[in-house]
Chains A and B, each alone.
Chain A
Amino acid sequence: AQKVTQAQTEISVVEKEDVTLDCVYETRDTTYYLFWYKQPPSGELVFLIRRNSFDEQNEISGRYSWNFQKSTSSFNFTITASQVVDSAVYFCALSDPYNQGGKLIFGQGTELSVKP
C-alpha cells in the first residue's frame, strides 16, 4: 500500500540553525512522484517541490534543499540558516499510478517552530 511517514511530529530550533525534516514513503510502483508542501499559520498549502522517481539528483533552492534516496525510500527536506518565517507545518506527499487519477497521499506533517 502507498504510505508516507513523517516521523517527526514537532521540531523546534533557534533561528540560523539548520534543520532537516524526514520523509519516508512506500509504493509498489517504479514510477512515482514526491512533493513537499508548506502550511504556514495562515492555513493555506503552498507548493514547494515536485520530484519524479527517475530523478535522484538533489535539488537546492535558496536556503531549501532536498535529498532524494531511492535506496532508503526517503525524500528529506533541509532548511539552512532557518528563519522565523519558516515556522509552519510541512507535508510530504506521494502520487503514483496505483492511485486513481492523481490523488496525493500526505504524511501527517512536521510542525517546525523557529524561535528568534
Chain B
Amino acid sequence: DSGVTQTPKHLITATGQRVTLRCSPRSGDLSVYWYQQSLDQGLQFLIQYYNGEERAKGNILERFSAQQFPDLHSELNLSSLELGDSALYFCASSIGGQGAGETQYFGPGTRLLVL
C-alpha cells in the first residue's frame, strides 16, 4: 500500500458527461501528479500540483482540469467525455515537487469507461 488513495476505483459513464476523480496524497507529501494510462498512448503525464498551485502541465486536454485543495487532496475533472477518454487514471504524490528526481508513489488508479 503506497499510502495514496483514489476514488472511485471504477467509473462507467456516457459520452458527453462530466466526472470527478479524487486523490489523497501520502501523509506529508505536498505534490500531486495525475497520469493517464491507455493502450495506445501508454502512461502519460497530465498535470502536477505543488502545495495548491499548478506546477507543471503535460498533455492535458482543455476538457480536463484539476485542482489541489488546502488539505492537499486533489481532484481531476473530465468533461464532455469521449470514447477515447476511457483509460486508467493514476494519481501519484511526492514529498516536495520543486524539481526533478523525487520518487512518486502511485495510487491504485481509477478505471474510467466511457460508453
Nearest 3 A/B pairs, CB to CB: A101-B56, A100-B56, A45-B106
Q: How many A-B residue pairs have CB under 8 A?
A: 82
B109 proximal to A (CB < 8 A): yes
A64 proximal to B (CB < 8 A): no
Q: Say whether A43 contacts B88, CB under 8 Å.
A: yes
Q: Say whether A43 contacts B105, CB under 8 Å.
A: no
With A44-B107, A109-B42 given, can you name 8 additional A-B contacts, CB distance below 8 Å? A44-B109, A45-B90, A91-B43, A97-B100, A99-B100, A102-B48, A103-B56, A107-B42
Give chain A's interface residue range (CB within 8 Å of chain B): 20 to 34
> Chain B CB within 10 Å — which of A31, A52, A95, A102 has the most?
A102
Complex interface: chain A residues within 8 A of B42 (CB): 106-109
Q: Say whether B100 contacts A44, CB under 8 Å.
A: no
Give chain B's interface residue range (CB within 8 Å of chain A): 20 to 34
Q: Say whether A102 contacts B97, CB under 8 Å.
A: yes
Majority SS at the chain A contact face:
loop
Q: Say whether B103 contacts A35, CB under 8 Å.
A: yes
Closest A residue to B33 using CB positions: A103
A104 CA / B115 CA spacing, docked (Å): 30
Complex interface: chain A residues within 8 A of B104 (CB): 47, 102, 104
Q: Within B91-114, which residues are at the interface with A (CB < 8 Å)?
A: 92, 94, 97-109, 111
Q: Which residues of B contact A (CB under 8 A)?
A: 2, 31, 33, 35, 42-45, 48, 50, 55-58, 88, 90, 92, 94, 97-109, 111
Return A103 CB to nearest CB of chain B, in Å. 4
Q: Say whether A102 contacts B111, CB under 8 Å.
A: no
A103 CA / B36 CA spacing, docked (Å): 13
Return A101 CB to nearest CB of chain B, in Å. 3
Return B102 CB to nearest CB of chain A, in Å. 5
A91 CA / B103 CA spacing, docked (Å): 14
> Chain B CB within 10 Å — which of A32, A44, A100, A103 has the most?
A103
Q: Say whether A103 contacts B58, CB under 8 Å.
A: yes
Complex interface: chain A residues within 8 A of B2 (CB): 44, 46-47
A95 CA / B35 CA spacing, docked (Å): 14
